[in-house]
Amino acid sequence: MFWFKKFISAYLLPTPFGLLFLCAGLILLWFHRAKKTRRVFLVMGFLVLLAFSVGPIPNLLTEHLQSQYRPMLNPPATIHKIVVLGAGASDKKDEPPNLSLDAASLSRLLEGIRLFHLIQKNNPDAKLILSGGRVFESPASSGKMRNTAVMLGMSDQNIVLENGSQDTREEAIHLRKILGKSPFLLVTSATHMPRAMALFQHAGTHPIAAPTQFSGARCHMFCYIPNATSLLKSDIAIHEYLGIVWARLRGYIA
């Protein structure tokens, strides 16, 4: 089921979805078949890529997700656990560990470390819980984040790893025993936070949102020019909406 979910969702994102229409239209054009159908495919592919690569639509999709929770400036004094959800990581050799983390993982880790230093003032036994296992052929993001945290001065004694999960729901389930009923800070990207909060709450834990990696929503004159950044924002946002729909259909969230 995990592989099926990943495969289907990958092709429902704007970029591959639009390219599939274009490819289908070009194939029909090459073989001189179905003139009306190939026109529909070519036009649909072009319109999908155009719509999701121009600023207003990506900004609207993204802002609806990331506006639900605000950044955590000063964490509650009673908190002593921080959970940082992993994203992507690569298996790079002979390089500093931070270079093996993608932008999402690195941003989440840095926010987790910042919050850890704040709560450690009141709770010397505070823990930074790094979560994320292997997905496909990639290494466990939690291990790469730990190496980066230690490189940045964190003590390994304050770090707890969860490396057996493949997605956010599994992270919530695997961490349930560690977290118990105590409230904790949940650190992840702002667009991912609504789904992550719902999954952790459904698992019976008590997260407090500490989002990071906010995407700018202000649209300037150049954002009306189709660009790869806007297309990527659309892909990320649609991925989250699909994840929320899937979780509701499966009964993982209310």
| The amino acid at 86 | G
Q: What is the pLDDT along the chain (254 residues), one digit of tens a residue?
A: 655 666 777 778 999 999 998 998 888 888 777 778 888 989 999 999 999 999 789 999 999 999 999 999 999 989 999 999 998 888 777 889 899 999 999 999 999 999 999 999 989 999 999 998 877 667 888 899 999 999 999 999 999 999 888 899 999 999 999 999 999 999 999 999 999 999 999 999 999 999 999 987 677 777 788 999 999 999 999 999 999 999 999 999 98
pLDDT at residue 8 in the model: 76
What contacts 171, CB < 8 A, 6 or more positions away? Answer: 85, 131, 132, 162, 165, 199
pLDDT at residue 2 in the model: 59
pLDDT at residue 4 in the model: 63
The Cα 141–Cα 149 span in angstroms is: 12
What contacts 161, CB < 8 A, 6 or more positions away? Answer: 129, 130, 131, 142, 143, 146
pLDDT at residue 29 in the model: 83
pLDDT at residue 223 in the model: 78
DSSP label at 81? E
- pTM, two decimals, is 0.90
The Cα 180–Cα 205 span in angstroms is: 7
pLDDT at residue 10 in the model: 78
Which domains are assigned to the chain? 1-66+228-250 (no CATH), 75-212 (3.40.50.620)
